[in-house]
C-alpha cells in the first residue's frame, strides 16, 4: 500500500492521510463540489508522470523526453472531445478558475465588460466577484434569480442590451435548475458578445445527457474535473475550432508554465470512465437522488431555495428558522454530515455567516446510495436542525449509513 511507503519516510503526514481516509469513510459527504475518484485515477495522480516537465502542446514541447507524455495528453484531449462532442479541448488548466482566467485572457482586454451570475445568487467567484481577478480586472455586471430561485432571463437580456458586455457567462456554483443555454446564446448573439458556459458542477450531467449540453451554443466551455465528473482536481477548456489556437496560447504561455501531466493522466482515465454505461446510470441516479432529497427535506419542514432540485445541488434556506448557515454546517459536521454554509438570494447576513447551507448528491451517489438513503439523510438533517434527536444518536445514524456503503478497501 502507498501509505506504507509514506510511513517509512514521513509518519506525521501518513498519520493525517490515514485520519482523512477514516473521516471520508465515516462521513456522509454532501459538499456539492466534492466527490470520490476511482483508485485508478488516484494511482495515476501519484505516478512517475509527476517527474516530467512538458511545457507546450503535445508534439510541440519545449522539453525533450515527452513522447509518452504526448500520447497520454493526446488521449485526454481525444476522450474529452468524444465525451462532450466538442471541436477542441485543452486539458492543461490546473483548475477551473485558471480555465476561466485563460478564456478571459483570450477573449477580453482589461476593463472590458462581462455579464455573469451574482455570487450571492449562486454564481462563482470567477464570474465577476469584486474580490477576484474577474472583478478586479474587468467591469462586471451581474444577473440573479427570481423569487422562485430561477435565473431571471428577462433581466439578463435587459442588462445585456443596456451594458453591451463583451462576454456573457452562464453556469453556477450553486444553482439547482436546468440552465437554458439557447436563451443565453440568443442574447449573446443579439449584442455580438462571446458566450462562455462554466459547467464545473454539472459536467457529468451534461456529458451523459442528463442536463442539456451547451456545446452547440457556446464559444467557450470550462469545467473542473473533480466534481460530478469524478476525476482529479483540475480544469478543462472546450471551444469552437476558430478559438482553438488562441485558447491554447492563453493557457500556455499566457497563464501557466508546465502542465501537471500526472493529473492529466488522471483526467484521461476519468474521461474514459465517464463514457461507460455505469457512469451514465450514475449520473441519472445523482439527479434522482437530488430531486428526492429536496422533496424529503421539504416534507420534514426544511425550506429549499426554489422548492426543488433538477441537477445535483440544492440550498437549504434557514431564514424562517432563524438559524445561520455557519451554525448549521457546524452542527451537521458534529452529526457526521459535511456540507458548506452558503448565501441564499438576497441574503440578509454576510458571506461568512450566511442564511443557507449548500448540499449535493454526487459523492453519496458514488458510494451507491439511492432513494432510501436519501430519505434517511433528509431525516437526519431535519432532526438535527429542528432538534428532534440527540447529537449522539444522529451521529450513529450517519455512521450506520456509511458502514453500509464503504468507500475504498484500503489506501
Per residue in 148-172, is it b (16+ CB within 10 Å) or e — as a string? ebebbbeebbebbeeeebbbbbbbb
Q: Rounded distance, CA 287 to CA 295, Å?
A: 12
pLDDT at res. 17:
96
**Chain centroid to CA 313:** 10
What CATH number belongs to 43-273? Answer: 3.40.640.10
Q: Rounded distance, CA 49 to CA 76, Å?
A: 14
Q: What is the pTM of this model?
A: 0.96
Q: Rounded distance, CA 340 to CA 116, Å?
A: 23
Q: Do the domains 2-30+279-404 and 43-273 sit in the same CATH topology, yes or no? A: no
Task: Tell me the three cell numbers of residue 284.
Answer: 441519472
pLDDT at res. 401:
98
What SS3 class is residue 57? strand
Q: How far is CA 12 from CA 9, 16, 46, 64, 111, in A?
A: 9, 7, 19, 37, 47
Tell me which long-range contacts 46-50 makes (C-beta under 8 A, separation of at least 24): 46/2, 46/262, 47/262, 47/265, 49/261, 49/262, 49/264, 49/265, 50/260, 50/261, 50/262
pLDDT at res. 2:
83
> What length is written for the chain?
411
Q: Catalytic residues, which ones?
A: 53, 55, 198, 224, 227, 233
Kindly list the domain boundaries of the chain, sorted by start residue.
Answer: 2-30+279-404, 43-273
Q: How many CB atoms lie within 10 A of CB 281?
A: 12
What SS3 class is residue 112? coil
Task: Tell me the three cell numbers of residue 263.
Answer: 493529473
pLDDT in tens, the chain (411 residues): 689 999 999 999 999 999 999 999 999 999 999 999 999 999 999 999 999 999 999 999 999 999 999 999 999 999 999 999 999 999 999 999 999 999 999 999 999 999 999 998 999 999 999 999 999 999 999 999 998 899 999 999 999 999 999 999 999 999 999 999 999 999 999 999 999 999 999 999 999 999 999 999 999 999 999 999 999 999 999 999 999 999 999 999 999 999 999 999 999 999 999 999 999 999 999 999 999 999 999 999 999 999 999 999 999 999 999 999 999 999 999 999 999 999 998 899 999 999 999 999 999 999 999 999 999 999 999 999 999 999 999 999 999 999 999 999 878
- Point out which residues pair with 141 in neighbouring strands: 115
Phi-psi region of 256 (alpha: psi -120 to 50; beta: other; left: phi over 0): beta
pLDDT at res. 1:
61
- Point out which residues pair with 61 in neighbouring strands: 56
Q: Are 245 and 54 in contact (CB under 8 A)?
A: no
Residues 6+ apart with CB under 8 A from 101: 126, 133, 134, 255
Phi, psi of 168 (to 5 degrees): -110, 135
* Nearest in space to 243 (alpha carbons), one of 305, 188, 194: 194
- By the 10 Å C-beta count (0-12 exposed, 13-18 middle, 19+ buried), 384 is classed as buried
* Fold entry, domain 2-30+279-404: 3.90.1150
Segment 296-340, tens digit of pLDDT: 999 999 999 999 999 999 999 999 999 999 999 999 999 999 999
**H or E element, residue 158:** helix 153-163
* Nearest in space to 271 (alpha carbons), one of 77, 62, 74: 77
Task: Tell me the three cell numbers of residue 301.
Answer: 419542514
Q: Rounded distance, CA 74 to CA 84, Å?
A: 16
| DSSP per residue, 162-207 | HH--SEEEE--SS--S---HHHHHHHHHHTT-EEEEE-TTTHHHHH
Task: Tell me the three cell numbers of residue 257.
Answer: 508554465
Cα R_g (the chain), whole angstroms? 21
Amino acid at each position: 500500500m502507498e501509505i506504507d511507503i509514506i510511513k517509512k519516510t514521513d509518519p506525521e503526514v501518513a498519520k493525517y492521510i490515514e485520519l482523512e481516509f477514516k473521516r471520508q469513510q465515516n462521513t456522509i459527504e454532501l459538499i456539492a463540489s466534492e466527490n470520490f475518484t476511482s483508485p485508478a485515477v488516484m494511482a495515476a495522480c501519484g505516478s512517475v508522470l509527476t517527474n516530467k516537465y512538458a511545457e507546450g502542446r503535445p508534439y510541440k514541447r519545449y522539453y525533450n523526453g515527452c513522447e509518452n507524455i504526448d500520447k497520454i495528453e493526446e488521449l485526454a484531449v481525444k476522450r474529452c472531445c468524444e465525451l462532450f462532442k466538442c471541436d477542441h479541448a485543452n486539458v492543461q488548466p490546473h483548475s477551473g478558475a485558471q480555465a476561466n482566467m485563460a478564456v478571459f485572457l483570450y477573449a477580453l482586454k482589461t476593463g472590458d465588460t462581462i455579464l455573469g451570475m451574482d455570487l450571492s445568487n449562486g454564481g462563482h467567484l470567477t464570474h465577476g466577484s469584486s474580490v477576484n481577478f474577474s472583478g478586479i480586472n474587468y467591469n462586471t455586471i451581474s444577473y440573479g434569480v427570481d423569487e422562485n430561485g430561477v435565473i431571471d432571463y428577462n433581466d439578463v437580456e435587459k442588462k445585456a442590451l443596456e451594458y453591451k458586455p463583451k462576454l456573457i457567462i452562464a453556469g453556477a456554483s450553486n444553482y439547482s435548475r436546468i440552465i437554458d443555454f439557447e436563451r443565453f446564446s440568443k442574447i449573446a448573439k443579439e449584442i455580438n458578445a462571446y458566450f462562455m458556459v462554466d459547467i464545473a458542477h454539472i459536467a457529468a450531467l451534461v456529458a451523459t445527457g442528463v442536463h442539456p449540453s451547451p456545446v452547440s451554443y457556446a464559444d467557450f466551455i470550462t469545467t473542473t474535473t473533480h466534481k460530478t465528473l469524478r476525476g482529479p482536481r483540475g480544469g478543462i477548456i472546450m471551444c469552437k475550432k476558430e478559438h482553438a489556437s488562441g485558447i491554447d496560447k492563453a493557457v500556455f504561455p499566457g497563464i501557466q508554465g508546465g502542465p501537471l501531466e500526472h493529473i492529466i493522466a488522471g483526467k484521461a482515465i476519468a474521461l474514459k470512465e465517464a463514457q461507460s454505461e455505469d457512469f451514465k446510470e450514475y449520473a441519472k441516479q445523482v439527479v434522482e437522488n437530488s430531486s428526492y432529497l429536496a422533496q424529503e427535506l421539504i416534507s420534514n419542514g426544511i425550506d429549499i431555495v426554489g422548492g426543488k432540485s433538477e441537477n445535483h445541488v440544492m440550498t437549504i434556506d434557514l431564514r424562517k428558522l432563524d438559524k445561520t448557515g455557519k451554525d448549521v454546517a457546524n452542527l451537521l459536521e458534529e452529526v457526521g454530515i459535511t456540507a458548506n454554509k452558503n448565501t441564499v438570494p438576497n441574503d440578509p447576513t454576510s458571506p461568512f455567516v450566511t442564511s443557507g447551507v449548500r448540499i449535493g448528491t454526487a459523492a453519496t451517489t458514488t458510494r451507491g446510495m439511492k432513494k432510501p438513503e436519501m430519505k434517511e439523510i433528509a431525516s437526519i438533517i431535519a432532526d438535527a436542525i429542528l432538534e428532534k434527536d440527540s447529537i449522539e444518536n444522529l451521529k450513529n445514524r450517519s455512521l450506520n449509513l456509511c458502514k453500509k456503503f464503504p468507500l475504498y478497501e484500503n489506501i
